[in-house]
């Protein structure tokens, strides 16, 4: 751990909503509220520049309403951590706090910054191309979910006028998905680094075009992190479940949104290939080690992300 990270002058929590940001410095009772806009950020900087310089700022994820303030703080060379909402929520609950207001959340984030400082990694703003790709891919996943919902609805009994309406929506969604996928492909193929990643990822058993695109968009760190970090980010790191003499099944949890689901499809494809190393690995776990099929499939998913990380690291 870099010791410089422990020498922060202040610990600041920023709670973000769509319209405002609430700021707490060093867990103090008084908090400050500003507009969630460039004007609000500039006022925050003018009011608290001395405190922000050399400080650690923690901002909670809130559906990307925090994106602008993160970019502003990084531009001002302030060390900022983008905290996972689930972890912060559990941290707050550990203090028995039941009430929830913006100012209470800001104080909790300030306390979280102070107590977890040595374990918090600084946020770095992605480059414009990566940022655009992430936004487009997020939009693509939203569209595909909406398409699945509409296709499920059309199978239910209903009036003809409703069926006609749903068919129109399905056509529009399919058209928009095709447009977004085309834009995503153009971004990847016009960027040399992303293009190389795409082709290398496809050399891994089970990884096709869709999985490769998902990993490039959602896990840009692949190739620059350790195998354990890759497994953890994808939600496939096994966590002990032991108590006393009882050794329970290790469970996988957490990780980045949607990655585990995407790798599930990749793993199914890999184990269906007769000449695949991963298929042999799966059969060995089931037949020789007597693992449950779902446990073995999870091991295959983890193997895929670890192999992908190693091959990208060799770039």
* Domain residue extents for the chain: 3-119, 128-190, 215-238+253-313
Between 23-27, 29-33, 70-74, 229-233, the lowest mean confidence (pLDDT) is in 229-233
| Res 14 pLDDT > 50 | yes
| Confidence grade of residue 127 (pLDDT, cut at 50, 70, 90) | confident
Fold of 3-119: Nucleotidyltransferase; domain 5 (3.30.420)
Distance CA 96, CA 91 (A): 9
Instruction: Please give the average per-residue pLDDT across 81-109, as a whole number.
Output: 83
Instruction: Please give the average per-residue pLDDT across 149-165, as a whole number.
Output: 86
∠ CA 256-228-233, rounded to 5° = 5
Query: Which span out of 78-87, 114-123, 146-155 was modeled with the highest average pLDDT?
Result: 146-155
Instruction: Please give the average per-residue pLDDT across 94-100, as a whole number.
Output: 74
Give residue 3's pLDDT. Answer: 42
**pTM here?**
0.76
| Confidence grade of residue 215 (pLDDT, cut at 50, 70, 90) | very high
| Confidence grade of residue 307 (pLDDT, cut at 50, 70, 90) | very high
Between 138-152, 166-180, 261-275, the lowest mean confidence (pLDDT) is in 261-275
Give residue 6's pLDDT. Answer: 60
Task: Dump pLDDT digits (tens) for 255-273.
Answer: 677 888 899 999 999 999 8
Select the more confidently predicted residue: 107 or 248: 107
Instruction: Please give the average per-residue pLDDT across 203-221, as a whole number.
Output: 94
Give residue 5's pLDDT. Answer: 45
Give residue 59's pLDDT. Answer: 95
Element (H, E) at 83: strand 79-83
| Confidence grade of residue 247 (pLDDT, cut at 50, 70, 90) | low
Strand 246-247, strand 242-243: pairing: antiparallel
Distance CA 280, CA 307 (A): 15
């Amino acid at each position: 751990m870099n010791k410089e990270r422990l020498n922060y002058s202040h610990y600041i929590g920023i709670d973000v909503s769509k319209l405002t940001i609430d700021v707490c410095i060093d867990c103090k009772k008084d908090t400050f509220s500003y507009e969630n806009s460039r004007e609000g950020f500039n006022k925050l900087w003018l009011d608290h520049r001395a405190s922000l310089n050399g400080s650690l700022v923690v901002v909670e994820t809130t559906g990307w309403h925090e994106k602008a303030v993160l970019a502003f703080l990084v531009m001002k060379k302030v060390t900022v951590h983008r905290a996972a909402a689930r972890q912060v929520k559990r941290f707050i609950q550990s203090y028995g706090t039941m009430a929830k207001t913006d100012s209470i959340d800001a104080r909790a984030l300030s306390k979280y910054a102070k107590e977890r400082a040595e374990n918090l990694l600084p946020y770095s703003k992605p480059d414009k191309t990566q940022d655009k790709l992430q936004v487009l891919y997020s939009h693509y996943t939203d569209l595909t979910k909406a398409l699945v919902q509409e296709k499920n609805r059309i199978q239910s009994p209903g009036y003809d006028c409703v069926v006609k309406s749903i068919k129109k929506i399905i056509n529009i969604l399919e058209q928009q998905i095709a447009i977004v996928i085309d834009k995503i492909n153009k971004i990847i193929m016009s960027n040399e680094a992303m293009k190389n990643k795409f082709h290398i990822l496809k050399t891994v058993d089970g990884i096709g075009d869709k999985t490769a695109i998902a990993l490039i968009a959602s896990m840009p760190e692949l190739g620059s992190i350790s195998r354990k970090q890759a497994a953890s980010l994808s939600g496939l790191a096994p966590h002990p479940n032991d108590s006393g003499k009882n050794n329970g099944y290790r469970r996988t949890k957490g990780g980045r949104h949607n990655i585990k689901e995407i790798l599930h499809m990749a793993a199914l494809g890999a184990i269906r290939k007769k000449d695949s190393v991963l298929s042999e690995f799966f059969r060995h776990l089931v037949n020789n080690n007597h693992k449950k099929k779902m446990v073995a499939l999870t091991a295959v998913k983890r193997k895929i992300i670890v192999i992908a990380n190693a091959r990208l690291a060799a770039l």
